Amino acid sequence: MSQKWKPLKQVGVIGVPFEKGQKKYGVSVAPAAMRSAGLIEQLREIDGLDVKDYGDIDIPSCHEAATVDNMAYLPLVSACNRSLSNKMTQVLNDGRLAVTIGGDHSIGVGTVDGHYSVNEDMILIWVDAHADINTNKTSDSGSVHGMPVALLVKELSDYWPYLPTMDWQVPKFSIKNLGYIGLRSVDHYERLAIEKYKVPTFAMEDIEDHGIRTSINHILHVLDPEKKKPIHVSFDIDSLDALEAPSTGTSVRGGLTLREAIKLMEIIHSTGRLRALDLVEINPAIGNDSDRKRTIEAGLCILKAALGFSRRGTSPRGATDLPIISASFKISSCLETKQEKESGEEKNGMRAIADKYFSKISNIESKYIINEGLSKTISNLLQGKVNAFPLYKVSLSLDRKPVKIPWTLDLASPLDDSHYKKKFKYLKIKKVPAPGN
């Protein structure tokens, strides 16, 4: 019998301000930009979600000399990922879903390594325009953000030379637990590796043919037919079309729409097995203000979809009805007439009628409920009746224009039409200040 999985409601957010896995300035600013855009606050608005911000990881400086052909900044990449791996392990052991905000995609080494140390049976969904499975021998750029998958999978460990400073990371993750979504810029040897190891892959042309739901469901079924393995999603923002996320360093036209990406993450969330999520390669230094805003908003939408935000909306917890406007009131010492001054006898008679009904309310400062059934509710509280052509009205002084509420005291003598307009009256109610004000 398979384990019953439920979405984790406890989330830990890790920031990784690191950009040495590629050559463009700015991607290290993304964690701060995402927080400034309301990342933590928006996640906490998701029903029932407990969000803890673990802050940014400490990225130690590395002075060790390590020169590897066609691998730029390897010592720094290694130091960052070692620190990140430890932080990932901490967050997961705290019983939280680990959300990592990069940074470039070289940080995938640290997130997957840390996750694997806790859940060795994890599967990895790599959502990206690029396969990131180059070695230093097959890479055209020498940037490590194009190599993290090749560094992680044990099947490719023999294709690497000795990597100084990387002794802490031993490739243990199997390529048999890897799947790709969104590919559309794949190098020749990357394609060879995908075909050699039969990695389930839905490139953009496959998604266009089959749709996003069929694509991700097929990958999940191939990697985990018994539906019992924890899921790690590593999401590169460049998997989205450049029109959806222009502020990224290696954008490629013809990518996922934001709607497809949201649906993808909603489907993964619905499995209940998501345990780690990376969002990488947002670069606020690229493009104008509109580009930055569009890209960051896209990233927020993806994260929220993965963590349970519903586009249908959610009912407020504990509520069974629509909200009402409520206030406390008391009777004033006088009655007002609208058309003419009434005689003392008439006023006293009206007051006597009102007092009879108000005396039945145990606490005159109790709340009179005001909603769409405004007239009826107050009349019921005062044991009056609602008529289409009322003899009296109650004027309620709120923090807006007075509301005229039709109601009739059943002991009031009816007036004929000739007196109706002349003796149309208001019972004045004053607001009682709330205690402590």
77 belongs to a structural domain: yes
Strand partners, 329: 431
28 belongs to a structural domain: yes
Contact present, 346 and 352 (Cβ < 8 Å): no
Q: Give the Cα separation of 98 and 108 in Å (integer).
A: 13
Same domain, 278 and 340: no
> Which residues, in sequence order, are CB contacts of 390 under 8 Å at separation 6+?
406, 407, 408
Same domain, 176 and 244: yes
- Tell me which residue of 259, 215, 255, 223 sits closest to 236, measured CA to CA: 255
- Tell me which residue of 228, 137, 128, 134 sits closest to 177, measured CA to CA: 228
**HSE (side-chain half, CA atoms, 13 Å) at 246:** 10
313 belongs to a structural domain: no
* Residue burial 248-258, b: 16+ Cβ < 10 Å; e: rest: bbbbbeebbeb
127 belongs to a structural domain: yes
> Which residues, in sequence order, are CB contacts of 260 under 8 Å at separation 6+?
207, 212
Same domain, 390 and 282: no
Can you tell me which residue has the tokens 């991607």? 27
3 belongs to a structural domain: no
- Tell me which residue of 138, 165, 172 sits closest to 80, measured CA to CA: 165
Q: Give the Cα separation of 52 and 41 in Å (integer).
A: 11
> Which residues, in sequence order, are CB contacts of 1 under 8 Å at separation 6+?
none
> Which residues, in sequence order, are CB contacts of 324 under 8 Å at separation 6+?
369, 370, 371
pLDDT at position 315, please? 84
Can you tell me which residue has the tokens 């790690």? 232
**Which CATH number covers residue 139?**
3.40.800.10
Which of these three, 306, 338, 361, is where a domain ends? 306
Contacts of range 252-259, beta carbons closer than 8 Å, 24 or more positions apart? 252/129, 252/130, 252/184, 252/185, 254/184, 254/204, 255/129, 255/182, 255/184, 255/204, 256/182, 256/204, 256/207, 256/212, 258/298, 258/301
318 belongs to a structural domain: no
Contacts of range 250-253, beta carbons closer than 8 Å, 24 or more positions apart? 250/22, 250/129, 250/130, 250/185, 250/281, 251/129, 252/129, 252/130, 252/184, 252/185
> Which residues, in sequence order, are CB contacts of 34 under 8 Å at separation 6+?
101, 279, 282, 296, 299, 300
How many structural domains compose the chain?
Answer: 2
Q: Give the Cα separation of 296 and 245 in Å (integer).
A: 8
Strand partners, 233: 125, 277
Same domain, 275 and 357: no
Contact present, 3 and 228 (Cβ < 8 Å): yes
Within a 10 A sphere around the Cβ of 339, how many other Cβ atoms? 10
Same domain, 288 and 338: no
Which of these three, 306, 336, 371, is where a domain ends? 306
- Tell me which residue of 345, 148, 141 sits closest to 236, measured CA to CA: 148
Please give the angle made by the CA atoms of 325, 394 and 366, to the nearest 5 degrees. Answer: 50
Same domain, 95 and 162: yes
Same domain, 137 and 240: yes
> Which residues, in sequence order, are CB contacts of 415 under 8 Å at separation 6+?
391, 423
Could you say which DSSP state residue 404 is in? E
Same domain, 382 and 424: yes
Helix axes 108-118, 74-93, angle to 10 degrees: 40
Residue by residue, pLDDT tens for the chain (437 residues) are 457 899 999 999 999 999 999 999 999 999 999 999 999 999 999 988 999 999 999 988 776 778 899 999 999 999 999 999 999 999 999 999 999 999 999 999 999 999 999 999 999 999 999 999 999 999 999 999 999 999 999 999 999 999 999 999 999 999 999 999 999 999 999 999 999 999 999 999 999 999 999 999 999 999 999 999 999 999 999 999 999 999 999 999 999 999 999 999 999 999 999 999 999 999 999 999 999 999 999 999 999 999 999 999 988 877 787 876 544 343 333 333 444 444 455 445 545 554 554 455 444 443 333 333 444 444 454 444 333 233 333 433 333 443 344 443 344 444 444 443 333 333 444 444 445 55
156 belongs to a structural domain: yes
Is the pTM of the predicted complex or chain greater than 0.85? Answer: no
The domain containing residue 373 runs over which residues?
325-431
The pairing of beta strand 367-370 with beta strand 325-331: antiparallel
pLDDT at position 399, please? 39
Same domain, 35 and 105: yes
Give me the DSSP letters along 133-178.
---TTT-SS--GGG-HHHHHBGGGGGGS---TT-TT----B-GGGE
Please give the angle made by the CA atoms of 171, 177 and 179, to the nearest 5 degrees. Answer: 115
Q: How many residues does the chain have?
A: 437
The pairing of beta strand 178-181 with beta strand 123-127: parallel
272 belongs to a structural domain: yes
- Helix, coil or strand: residue 267: helix
